[in-house]
Amino acid sequence: MLRKNGKNSYSLLTNPNKKAYFDVIGYKPEQIQWDVHNSKARFRVNIQGRRSGKSYSASREAEVAILQPNTRGWIVAPSYELASKIGREIHENLIIKYKFPTISKKVINGNLFYAKFINGSEVWVKSAGTPDTSLVGEGLDWLIIDESAIINKLVWEQYLRPTLSDRQGWALFVSTPRGYNWLYDLYQRGQSNDYPEWESWQHSSSTSRYFRDNIEELRNEPWARMDDNFGKRNTLYTYAFVIESEYKGNGYAKMLKRVFLSWAEKRQQINYVTGHVINGVSAKFTGDIKIVDRIENWQGTGKSFEYYRRDIQSKSPLQKNNPPLITRT
């Protein structure tokens, strides 16, 4: 392990300890990050909100792997620009700040492409954009896939997964949530006892101390401008209930929704609940419903969605069908 005795000094231990290394570099993971770091699962899926420290913690995980002698690892993302976030952290922390010696490296404008270290370990930073040429190489001991939900499923199955076979390597999937896609299926494996090699976690940006945005800054974002109640602390924003396939069609989602709305109505400070559904679905709801906005090709799905607002404190008669679109100035 790299032990910092002074600005330019180090010692390499043959069996680096993760917690000791984190203590040395001053990294203090939150409990949700410790859960990921301490997991013994071969395949880990960590889904977090934006700006919540997921790439930062992944870079620390990569550094511990690099400090193990003679390891070989990749950092992969949909584009090199995205992958370079973790690569840049490793370069700035392990190579520049703690001066862990390299035998060879490729760094352009501060962006790390490749490094081989004094202990024989190697790391590549790669893009999944051209897998036939960029994702070719020898077997890996470890693999970190950043923003993995955006990567094509076939890239994982045909190019990345096979690289872990020879050396029984591990993989860490890191991503913001992107709906019910192939990464969600892998997340479900981590929640099931049927897949003992898998473990998964999910948490929002607001639960992390790394999320430093404030209400005034967020107010300028396009999604925030949809709702003139943003920042007034009177609205519960988008909610959803995910029902396992074997229980679908039995009314469980409607029951959970009624329980949720009943709970919300008892909170005096909460006046509204919002959600987003496929266009036309909110017309089936009862209550005081208004459409906040309609969005074509929502999140690149090719589907049109509507964001609706439900006034849960309204005393007006129940309304149904064709909720009006709110006019904003």
Segment holding 44, helix H or strand E: strand 43-48
Beta strands 305-311 and 289-295, pairing class? antiparallel
Residue 37 dihedral angles phi and psi, to the nearest 5°:
-60, -40
Helical segments of 68-172, H only: 80-90, 131-134, 153-154
Which of left, alpha, beta for 293 (phi over 0: left; psi -120 to 50: alpha)?
beta
What amino acid is encoded at 214 in this protein?
N
Cβ distance 197 to 190 under 8 Å? Answer: no
Say if residue 254 is exposed, middle or buried (CB neighbours under 10 Å; 0-12, 13-18, 19+): exposed
Helical segments of the chain, H only: 18-25, 31-38, 54-67, 80-90, 131-134, 153-154, 182-190, 215-218, 222-225, 252-265
Cβ distance 116 to 105 under 8 Å? Answer: yes
Residue 10 dihedral angles phi and psi, to the nearest 5°:
-160, 160
| Residue given tokens 């520049």 in the structure block | 96
217 is catalytic: no
Q: What percentage of the chain's residues is helix, strand, coil (to nearest 5)?
A: 35, 20, 45
Catalytic residue among 61, 63, 147, 306: 147
Write out the catalytic residue numbers. 147
